[in-house]
C-alpha cells in the first residue's frame, strides 16, 4: 500500500469512527423507536416476561439425521414432520452441554435453532453443519472461545473463534456466543448478542441516516463498509454490543417498551420488524 492509499484508508477509518460516535450519541432514531413500540404492542403477550425466551423457531428434525451429537432438547431426527424449539429451550440445552464440556452438542443446538426451516431444503444447512463438525480442531476452538468469554469478554471470545472453524461464519458464531453467554456470563463488558446479516442491515440503515445528518457520510458508503453483510471485525462486534445495550436502556426509559428488558429483546425485535419503507 502506497502513501496515498494509506492516507485514504486513514481518512475512511476516521469517518467511520465519527459515524460510530454519532450513533452512540443519538442511538435509535424516532422512526425506529416508533416501529419498535408497534412491535411490542403486537408481541407483548408472547414475551410477557420481557425477554425473548419464547422466541420459537420451527425446524424439520429428519433433515438433520446425519448430525451427531444430537441434543436431547431437540426432537429426535426420526420424528415425522416439523418441530419447534424456543430460545429458552436452546439456552437450557447449551447450559447443560457446557457443564459436560460437550461443546459440539452446544453448537448443534444453536445452529439448528439459527437455521430453523431456512436453508434446509436441499440439505445446505445440515451439510454445512456436518462439515463443521468434521473439523478436527472444533472442540479446541469452541473451548477457547468459552474460556475467552469467561475470562475476558464477548469481543475477545468473538476474536478467539472468528476464522478458526471452516464453515462457521460470524452469524452462527455469534449465535453460539449468545447462548453460551447466558450460561457463562462474561468477566467484563456486555453479554454477547446475535449479529447476522439482517441485524447488520438494520444498523447500516441507522448509520447511513446519522451519517447524512452529520455530513460524515453523505453517500452512505461508510455505513455500507462498516455494516457489511458479514466478516465483521472484533472491533465492529464490540461497537454493536455497546450500541445495543445503550439502545435497550433508551427504549426501557420510554413508555412503549418493557422496563428492564434485556438487549436481546431489542435484537429479537430488530430482526423481526421493519421501518425502512413505512417511515
When pLDDT is cut at 50, 70 and 90, the band that residue 261 belongs to is very high
Is residue 278 scored above 50 in pLDDT? no
Q: What is the pLDDT of residue 3?
A: 76
Over residues 115-141, mean pLDDT: 88
Residue 33: pLDDT over 60: yes
Residue 236 pLDDT > 80, yes or no? Answer: yes
Mean pLDDT of 166-181: 97
Q: What is the pTM of this model?
A: 0.94
Asked if the peptide bond before residue 69 counts as cis, ω within 30 degrees of 0, the response is yes
**pLDDT tens, 40-99?**
999 999 999 999 999 999 999 999 999 999 999 999 999 999 999 999 999 999 999 999
Residue 7's pLDDT band, with cuts at 50, 70 and 90, is: confident
Q: Per mean pLDDT, which range of 6-10, 174-178, 233-237 is the poorest?
A: 6-10
- Tell me what pLDDT residue 215 has: 96
Average pLDDT over residues 185-199: 95
Q: What is the pLDDT of residues 266-277, one digit of tens each?
A: 999 999 887 664
- pLDDT score recorded for residue 97: 98
Q: Return the C-alpha cell found at 130.
A: 456436518
**CA-to-CA distance for 181 and 255, rounded, in angstroms?**
29
* Mean pLDDT, residues 221-238 taken together: 97
Position 1 scores a pLDDT of 67
As a whole number, the mean pLDDT across the chain is 94
* pLDDT value for 119: 59
**Which residue would you say has higher pLDDT here, 25 or 117?**
25
Q: In the predicted model, is pLDDT for residue 108 greater than 80?
A: yes
Q: How many CA atoms lie within 13 A of 235 on its CB side?
A: 5
φ, ψ for residue 188, nearest 5 deg: -140, 150
pLDDT tens digits, 137-153 = 999 999 999 999 999 99
Q: Say if residue 4's pLDDT is above 90.
A: no
pLDDT at 117: 86
Q: Which pLDDT value is given to residue 279?
A: 44
Amino acid at each position: 500500500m502506497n502513501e496515498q492509499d494509506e492516507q485514504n484508508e486513514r481518512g475512511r477509518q476516521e469517518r467511520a469512527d465519527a459515524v460510530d460516535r454519532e450513533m452512540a450519541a443519538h442511538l435509535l432514531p424516532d422512526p425506529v423507536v416508533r416501529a419498535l413500540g408497534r412491535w411490542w404492542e403486537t408481541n407483548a403477550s408472547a414475551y410477557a416476561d420481557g425477554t425473548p425466551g419464547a422466541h420459537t423457531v420451527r425446524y424439520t428434525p429428519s433433515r438433520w439425521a446425519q448430525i451427531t451429537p444430537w441434543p436431547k432438547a431437540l426432537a429426535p431426527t426420526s420424528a415425522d414432520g416439523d418441530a419447534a424449539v424456543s430460545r429458552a429451550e436452546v439456552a437450557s440445552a447449551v447450559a447443560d452441554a457446557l457443564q459436560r464440556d460437550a461443546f459440539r452438542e452446544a453448537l448443534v443446538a444453536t445452529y439448528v435453532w439459527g437455521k430453523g426451516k431456512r436453508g434446509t431444503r436441499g440439505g445446505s444447512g445440515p451439510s454445512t453443519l456436518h462439515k463443521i463438525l468434521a473439523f478436527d480442531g472444533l472442540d479446541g476452538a469452541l473451548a477457547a472461545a468459552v474460556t475467552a468469554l469467561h475470562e475476558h469478554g464477548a469481543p475477545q471470545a468473538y476474536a478467539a473463534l472468528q476464522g478458526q472453524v471452516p464453515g462457521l461464519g460470524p452469524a452462527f458464531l455469534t449465535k453460539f456466543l449468545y447462548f453460551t453467554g447466558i450460561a457463562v456470563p462474561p468477566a467484563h463488558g456486555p453479554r454477547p448478542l446475535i449479529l447476522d446479516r439482517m441485524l447488520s442491515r438494520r444498523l447500516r440503515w441507522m448509520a447511513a441516516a446519522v451519517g447524512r445528518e452529520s455530513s460524515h457520510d453523505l453517500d452512505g458508503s461508510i455505513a455500507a463498509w462498516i455494516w457489511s453483510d458479514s466478516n465483521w471485525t472484533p472491533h465492529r462486534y464490540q461497537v454493536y454490543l455497546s450500541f445495543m445495550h445503550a439502545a435497550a436502556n433508551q427504549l426501557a426509559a420510554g413508555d412503549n417498551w418493557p422496563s428492564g428488558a434485556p438487549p436481546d429483546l431489542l435484537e429479537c425485535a430488530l430482526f423481526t420488524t421493519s421501518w425502512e419503507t413505512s417511515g
